[in-house]
Structure 1
Amino acid sequence: MSETTQKILRHDWTKEELIAIYNKPLLTLVFEAAALHREWHNAEEVQMSTLLSVKTGGCPEDCSYCGQAARYHTDIQVQALLPTETVISHAKKAKAHGSSRFCMAAAWREVRDNRDFDRIIDMVKGVNALGMEVCCTLGMLTETQAQRLQEAGLYAYNHNLDTSAEYYDEIISTRTFDNRINTIQHVRNAGITVCSGGIIGLGESTADRIAMLRTLANMEKHPESVPINALARVKGTPLENNPKVDTWDMVRMIATARIAMPASMVRLSAGRTEMTTMEQAWCFMAGANSIFTGEREKLLVTPNPGISEDLDMLATLGLKPMMCS
């Protein structure tokens, strides 16, 4: 990328600018986002990413949307940390099915320096050896822990903001918004790429959605990966009765993220099981260029389309999986 192109990236967005973008007439917004998407990315490629829960449930946090919180009565089964060999086997299958990114998630509040973390390090090394982008989401971590992950070959670390700083306390009380910002900074300082986005449908306002995007877009370096999630309403959680997220709200969020952070991968994440192929096509047109897929038809612990269904969708839309570099 040339020095001239780099100057297109902005880190000084105002709330008013982003709200104006979000509220543009829908077809105008999608057209502008699609045009920008084509300047920065191959619009015919979609990165297929696989997300595997390597340790499920029993989390001490109180995130209102999460079925893995120990305090909520859900039907999600607690699962100890998977054997390293099992995880590598899943990664090999994911690569064979077209995934170029493999993400491992553990339902921890924070990383602890113990044997479980040593096993995560081994998993990272094993997936990295397959030539895939390897990502982890393990909760809060220190800069020293981030450095260990980087040395093992970790490509990306996911730590979502979830929502705006202003609305954050309505959703989570067991950690602060600043805790999330600090972890992202530790990841950045260690030389690992950042994956950070949010969830819509938590009961937040449009202003909260924009504030979340503005926090990401005004970071000194944009997150290389920005997941946009629609709330998966898990029975037994405080948000189980929230209304389904409107598809056009997802399209507007994706388009606004694409315009504000044109170089980033914008990931159409949770919520796809409630979207038709046509609705997902609008999200791709608006600038999404990644989805999560997999053999288990799960996104962590919530339903997700399966690999064959996704490959059929991409073929219908004239899209193709992005290959491993």
Structure 2
Amino acid sequence: MMKHSMKFYLTSSFGVPEFPDFVARAMVNDVEIAYYDSNAKKTTPKHLWMKNYMSDDQWQRSTQNCRGYHQVVKAETKTFMQRLNHTGGIHVLQEMAGCEWDNETGEINGYQQYGYNGEDFISLDLKTLTWVAPKPQAVVTKHEWDRDKPRTDFWRSFIRERCPEKLKKYLMIEQISWPKRDPPSVSLLQKTPSSAVSCHATGFYPDRALMFWSKDGEEIHEGVEHGEILPNHDGTFQMTVDLNVSSVPEEDWRRYHCLFHLDGVEDIITELDETLIRTNWVKPRTLTVLIIPAVVCLVLVVMVTFGYMVYKRRKNCRPPSAPESIAELSETLNPPT
């Protein structure tokens, strides 16, 4: 079983220098698939399968739609500012809408809500089809939107029908565009014998993977540090979970395992085994084998150099040889002036 999601984020800002006053993002399973901002004025694909799926005409229509949303959200931002008596400064309005589909039960959930300056402002209750105002300043907007039946019907239809249809369509396209995906790989890494052992998984998609360390089949938390899920260049993801082994006796290592779980893929279980650990660290005895010849070579160089210096010193200290003739002796004792 796996729940899939599609989300849309529309952000309008006021008074933020050197930043687009409108940004739109589309996400599938929390992976960004399309992006638009008011500076670039163009919708761009953010994932390979999305880029290959839509034609240039479709991307152009998406750009036109985003330009229309820009004007709508910009007007809503000004309305909210007026109702909160905000005339200057920096203000941000974010509209969030999306749906979630359970591919096993068929259950569909969704939401449509607005946030203003980092706080909830107004949202749609899908059961009563009325708007909820958590702030007194939003009550006027609530009554206005409750009377606006076309607005409510549009969002009800979008969340319960159009959004799930688009989500299922994109999931199918993604599967067709990427049919021969390699399975994820899991490795054990360690920098030095005193550092933590990292369980590293890479090449998985989507990013809704779970990975943890266990002891005797039970998940453990002490001495475990979870890293972030990061993107790879090919659209897949990677993640790391570290285990501090400094207090784990070597005879107990076999009781520890790293488990990687991703829906639709068989779980990958890796035993904590020294022979499976990859490292760039060179063992000290190996270093000794390399260092001893170098030391011997250095000693020989020093000995030769020292012997040569002794030879030179003795040569310089030797008394001069006797002159071969009286003329030579006279010249030595009486140098010319």
TM-score (norm 2): 0.19
TM-score (norm 1): 0.19
> Which structure has the larger Rg over C-alpha atoms?
2
Task: Compare relative contact order (CA 8 Å, sep 6+) and give the higher one, 1 or 2.
Answer: 1
Say which structure is richer in strand: 2
